[in-house]
Amino acid sequence: MLARALVSASLLVLAACSAPPDAPVRAAADLDWPFYGGAAGGQRYSPAGQITPANVAGLKVAWTYSTGELARHPKDIKHAAFENTPILAEGRLYICSQFNLAAALDPGTGQELWRYDPKVDPKVRYPNDNVCRGVTFWRDPEAPAGSACTARIFLPTVDRRLIALDAATGAPCQGFGQSGTVDVGAGVLLERSGQMQITSPPVVVNGVVVVGSSIDDNQRVEEISGVVRAYDARTGAPRWAFDPLANAGPGVKAGAANVWAPMSADPARGLVFLPTSSASPDFFGGLRPGDNGMANSVVAVDAATGQPRWSFQTVHHDVWDYDIPAQPTLAEVAYGGQPTPAVIQATKQGLIFTLARDTGAPVIPVEERPVPQQGAPGEPLSPTQPFPVAPRPLAPISISEKDAFGLTPWDRGRCRELIRGARNEGIYTPPSTQGTILFPFPGGGVNWGGVAFDAGRQVVYVNTSSLLHRVTLIPSAEVAAAQRAQPDVEISAQRGAPFGMKREVLLSPLGLPCNRPPWGRLHAVDMRTGKVLWEVPLGTTRDLAPGSQLLLRSAGVPNFGGPIATASGLVFIGAAVDNYLRAFDGRTGQELWKGRLPAGGQATPMTYVWKGRQYVVIAAGGHGKSGTKPGDQIVAFALPGPLTN
């Protein structure tokens, strides 16, 4: 009797301790994610609604896929960032790795269907490390059914190639360029092989494929041109080239103004929207007087001809490295109750400009406000800079020594000294030989992750970072000595200018940022009013300094990558410099779930529904410059229960 009772009791305990069966999941209609930003306009929104605020806590890993790059490049991966956002088109998931390996995967299992390796040289050092943010899918409406390359994947590479692959097999499309490849850098005279790269996916509009580039920062005045190039999507023949500095005016010595961030497209209007960067060099503009043409601008160009329809400049005569880092987001914005086809542009300054899609005129008014003057000798600063009246800046734009942060009076006092010792008059204080505070720092505000837009709710979701940079101008004759004295500090020559530059993050003796947390946030903005609905810290310091999150609760951390929104009211985001994918309630900003990743999730996720089940997928491979854990995995989460009708 006793033995039987013990057995019965043990069975009861086991039953009580065993996990309940996964709840059934109602099958949903299948949904793709066929563009880098979900749609051609980059809204990063999905009508998928199977995963909701009520059940998101039940998400589990559904499958993982390894590209193999960690094993293939164990030493060089520290100079890489896995920033890829996969796309799902016509039943296949397409990805690219840090080193430009492309692959097609089964959406339900992650099984590899094909792979293509362009064999980039991993030893070459590029300005933005080894990065591939995405590939582009295009189906040729004129190709005979069943022929090779009817559907294509356009793969950009860091070594300046644009490769067309058969979406069905991964084989190069022989009729495109030279055996499937166009050399985007052809004819460009480079001083070093890593001076120019391609990091973001191209866009295709009406049979024309458009590609930008990333170029060395701060190295020289007369940098290579930031020309945007377009090719015939079928043959690879050149179609047009657009130089944002073509109208910069006589006597201007500069290059760059390139488009390194993702572009967006409006096929119905035949337009491509370009986010241009600053003219060279970043921190001295004495040899490029004026507003520098269409640098630092949103530019709408005709996809067929490359002719600009309109442009709007977000920074005049940039000497702060405040180039436009994010994809222009196309949306119907109901500001003031009047729906308008618009372009939403987030910036490194934490500003959001909302422009009419047909004209570039501000939908939400923009004011030209006076900014600090008296730059370095020979620096013709702009007396004003544009500020949208709404929303307010999403990142702090000024700091005083009283705002210095520290865990103790000692380290806080040291940060106060650092802030006090620099020139510091708020945003747009010009660089100086004294050293100037840049706040926000040139990493954001907003960076390449951009925004997600829920058109039904008229809400923009966007993440920001907040750190202090001190930029010091160094007389050109003293740059070499400064580089020898501080080999671990970023010091660049800005060759041809009277000054080089030194750029540093202001940190306390304990290694913490000198500005108060949160150092990373997620925000929601009502675009009907321009008001911020909520903002919450994003990420923890757990993976930067284990145990520190106990002292730095709600600190938030810097982030690289962006959010996506779904019809059920969820916002998914990785981005923070820790190893998590998170889900937030879009109404309140409450964190509802976080899934542990095998490496840093500094990428933008995506979501789709395949055979009735919704998946949320993110690249987990780390970010070399941020020091997060490297890896090479694509991770898919889903609700694990059985599907029901």
Report the 10 Å Cβ neighbour count for 512.
22
Sheet holding 451-454, edge to edge: 451-454, 459-465, 520-526, 531-537
Helix (H) or strand (E) holding 267: none
Residue burial 141-177, b: 16+ Cβ < 10 Å; e: rest: eeeeeeeebbbbbbbbbbbbbbbbbbbbebebbeebb
Do 282 and 256 contact (CB within 8 A), yes or no? no
Strands 520-526 and 271-275: unpaired
Q: Which of 32, 217, 321, 578 is catalytic?
A: 321
Cα gap 77→344, rounded to integer Å: 34
Do 199 and 168 contact (CB within 8 A), yes or no? no
Cα gap 18→591, rounded to integer Å: 27
Our answer to whether residue 32 is catalytic in this structure is no
Cα gap 328→300, rounded to integer Å: 10
Alpha-carbon dihedral sign for residues 618, 622, 628, 629: positive
Report helix, strand or coil for 594. strand
Alpha-carbon dihedral sign for residues 472, 474, 480, 484: negative
Residue with tokens 């106990």: 550
Q: Which residues pair with 182 in a beta bridge?
A: 162
Q: How far is CA 476 from CA 431, 483, 494, 500, in A?
A: 15, 12, 8, 5
Do 315 and 276 contact (CB within 8 A), yes or no? no
Cα gap 533→458, rounded to integer Å: 11
Catalytic site positions: 321
